[in-house]
Amino acid sequence: KAAYEQSQFCKVIPRSKLLALQAALTLLFLMTCVCLGKLHQLPHATTNAQAPGQEESVTEEIARQAQLDQVEPGNTEVERGTPLAVLAHFTHQAPDHAALVIRGPQGTRRIDLTKNLDDPIFGATLPIVNQAFSYHVEYDGEQSESYQVNVFEFPTLDRADAALEYPNYTRLPSRTVEDTRRLSAVEGTQLSYRFHLNKPVQSARLVGPDDQSIDLKVHAGQPLAELPPLALTQTQSWKLELTDAAGRQNKIAPRIEVSVYANKPPVIHVSNPHGDQQVSPLEEVDYAAEIEDDFGLGRYGLTYNINGGEMQEIPLGQPAPGNTKAFARHLLALETLEVEPDQLINWFFWAEDTGPDGQPRRAYSDMFFAEIRPFEQIFRQGDPSQQQQQQQQQQQSPNQQTEELIKLQKQIINATWKLRRQPATLAKDAPVLVEGQTETLTKARVLLDKSSDEKATEHIKAVVAHMERAVNQLTEATQEAASLMPALAAEQAAYQSLLRLQAHEFQVSQQQQQQSNQQQQQSNQRAQSQLDQLDLRKQEDRYETERQARKLEEPKQREQLQVLSRLRDLAQRQQDLNEKLKELESALRAAETAKAKEEIERQLKRLREEQRQNLADLDELNQRMEKPENRAEMQPQRQQLEQTRQQMNEAAEQMQKGQLSQAISNSTRAQKDLQEMRDDLREKTSNQFAEEMRTMRRDARELSEKQKELSNKLDQTEKKNEPRKSLTGTDNQKEITKELNDQQKKLENLLEDMKNVVEKSEIAEPLLNRKLYETFREAHQDQADKSLKAAATLLEQKEDALRNNQLLRTLDEIMDKDPDKQKLIDQLRQRDFR
């Protein structure tokens, strides 16, 4: 320091200036350090002093660093049991690795995120979300913020248990049906429902097709909604709408269907006598009827009166259970009634049951007539050559006019009785009856003016008096149904007086019966027994009658086939379900990993859903079998179906609890029951097919025999070597033409019957169906009906036109014997149609 002070430099630059310079340099150094620090913190900021190469180097370094831009879905709510996709969006470039970290009740787990295509987006999918959890994304040593996933459920119906309280008149015990959405019940039944849900709800209601709703009772904190007892009056179909506390509604509203059947009055089928009769004063008439009611029969009996007098009631039976047939029979000795010729007995059966209001209700059969004939009546076979002259005379005779009045008066009596049985249409139909009786009265007055016979005039005056009284009573009946019975008595008295006008001698010829059938129908019916003794009536062709009878059976048979089809389908589906259930039970026992067991549980859940669907279809089948027209016929099947349903329901519950062995046992029993019902019903329908096949066999034989007869006739005609011109005008040619036309019609009917059997047998008898179809197809390929038509028109096809009928040969060969019931079907199975 002393040396510095003594030096020349110190003398030139003072010490104070050196200190100032030192301080300035120190400050400059500090400022440079601060600037460099700022530059390091802001790498993107550049100064004007940076070189272009240095700026590009800094930008590339920044671009190589990945930055997380967005995580989807972030904080969210998902439905329980649904999948969830998580996506991580990056900017500039994708990181080398990214992972999804999940923290839940079962701990923490990591899932690697995968990158698709060239987009800087990483993602992963959680297949099923059943619990709430939190998650974040980790990448290149960095991590995102944490997000929360909550789980919710839409309200759904798990099970619906119904309770049915039947009316007292049905004599049926109360019933509880578990897990059902389809029911059948009679009107007046009290229905209550317990809907078991997956969670508590804020509100629940049943909504009908007309948007009318029924609010259900909900329980706070309980997954339950209840329908209070509801009286069923008509068929109902509702949708179940649920709303939870968050305002969420069920995505799919389940349907609740209740079929309500009316309590029908007893059904009465009169089996004897058949229709109106003409009887002797000493005859004993056997009256018989078959009576049935759906829920229980009360008293039943027979009622008759003579000449429109006081009704005589004869009780014949006591109460009987529902869906059982009661037989009413009574032998009425006319001799004890001291009836006289030309008197009239009106009779009908009646039966009582309990109506929907709980009061006794009476049903009636049709009213029938028994006319007392004289001990002696003369029946002569008339001369056909005098037929035309007799018809012209009869058209002008008073007897013909009397017949017309009898016919009209009988129609009025039947219409009045029908209105008495069904008085609901009284206001509408009574004026029509008044008009009809008035017109008949007018015709009777015309007949009175033309009458010249003293005795006939007295009868006609009685007819007019009774008809006038009937008109007055019917006029009063338009306001009050009680007047129908006095009107009916007056109508019957008029009818009896008309009978006294008739002559007791009839000339009947066989040809007259054929050509004037409508004119003589009334007299032929009343004298049927006498005409049978004279053997004047030609034997009718009963082919059309039997075809009509078979048509009456078709709706019943069609219903059985529909039930059989559903039983077959249910039995097969239940068998398939059992096999899958056994396989899953074995696989569950052999499963070693949690993942394998989880997959088996998912398959078991699907099987439970299939079992519940089978239950729903079984309920639909039960609804069909409980229809009034099927209740009595299918009562054994309905009882067995109820037991089968219980087994299937237990199997579904045991599958849900994991009791697979018990579930397999119940499911197998249900499968066997369905198969037994299917086989029983199949045998029943097969018996019906056997009857139809026997009928077709007989028809085919008749056609075949007629075919040979016509062939012989054609051969004989050809041997005569007569020119065709002469044949066209001969009676023989006309007869052959007519017979060929008849053959064609019968063949068409036979083919139509076969077509019906082919269509109906597809379900019950597949093998029979296939064989008959082949025969039906061959018959159409042969075009036998067209050949017959051509032969009838041209008389040129002769024998070949008839012998080319493969159908006739086939059926005749198959049905060579007369098997009974199933035996015929077995023969059809064993034999080849070719």
Residue ranges of the domains in the chain?
Answer: 1-64, 67-152, 157-261, 267-372, 397-503, 553-682, 684-830
Task: Give the span between the Cα atoms of 49 and 784, in whole angstroms.
Answer: 112
Per-residue pLDDT reduced to its tens digit, 216-235:
999 988 999 999 999 999 99
* The predicted structure's pLDDT at residue 551: 46
- What pLDDT is attached to residue 281? 87
Burial state string for 286-310 with b = 16 or more CB within 10 A and e = fewer than 16? ebbbebbbbbbbbbbbbbbbbbbee
pLDDT digits (tens, 9 = 90+) for 793-814: 433 333 343 344 444 444 444 4
For residue 672, with 0-12 CB atoms within 10 Å meaning exposed, 13-18 middle and 19 or more buried, which class applies?
Answer: middle
Instruction: Calculate ∠ Cα 813-818-820, nearest 5°.
Output: 130
Structure tokens belonging to residue 342: 């030309």
pLDDT value at 538 more than 50: no
Q: Distance of alpha carbon 554 from its chain centroid, rounded? A: 15
Q: Tell which wins on pLDDT, 762 or 557.
A: 557
Is residue 667 classed as helix, strand or coil in its secondary structure?
Answer: helix
pLDDT of 526 higher than 80: no
What is the average per-residue pLDDT within 18-27? 77
Integer Cα distance of 370 and 410 in angstroms:
12
Q: Say whether 267-372 and 157-261 share the same fold.
A: yes
Q: What are phi and psi of 201, to 5 degrees?
A: -125, 160
Contact residues for 119 (Cβ-Cβ < 8 A; gap 6+): none
What is the rounded CA–CA span in Å between residue 435 and residue 431? 6
pLDDT at 834: 34
Cα-based torsion angle of the residue sequence 450, 455, 456, 458 in order, rounded to the nearest 10 degrees: 90
What is the bridge-based pairing of β-strands 224-231 and 190-197? Answer: antiparallel
Domain 397-503 grouped into CATH 1.20.120: yes
CATH assignment of 157-261?
A: 2.60.40.10
Residue 754 backbone zone (phi > 0: left; psi -120 to 50: alpha; other: beta): alpha
Q: Which pLDDT score, from 0 to 100, does residue 680 have?
A: 82
Structure token pair of residue 746: 């019968």
The predicted structure's pLDDT at residue 730: 54
Report the amino acid identity of residue 582: K
Instruction: Name the nearest CA neighbour of 114 among 92, 146, 137.
Output: 137
Q: Which residue intervals of 658-795 are DSSP H helices?
A: 660-719, 724-727, 731-764, 766-782, 784-794
Residues with Cβ < 8 Å from 108, sequence gap 6 or more? 101, 102
Topology of domain 553-682, CATH: Four Helix Bundle (Hemerythrin (Met), subunit A) (1.20.120)
What does the pLDDT read at residue 755? 67
Whether CATH 2.60.40.10 fits 267-372: yes
The CATH class of the 67-152 domain is mainly beta
Per-residue pLDDT, 450: 82
**Model-level pTM greater than 0.75?**
no
- The greatest distance separating any two alpha carbons of the chain, rounded to the nearest whole angstrom, comes to 192
Q: Mean pLDDT across the stretch 32-49?
A: 59
Backbone CA torsion sign across 405, 410, 411, 417: positive
Burial class of 273 by CB neighbour count within 10 A (0 to 12, 13 to 18, 19+) = middle
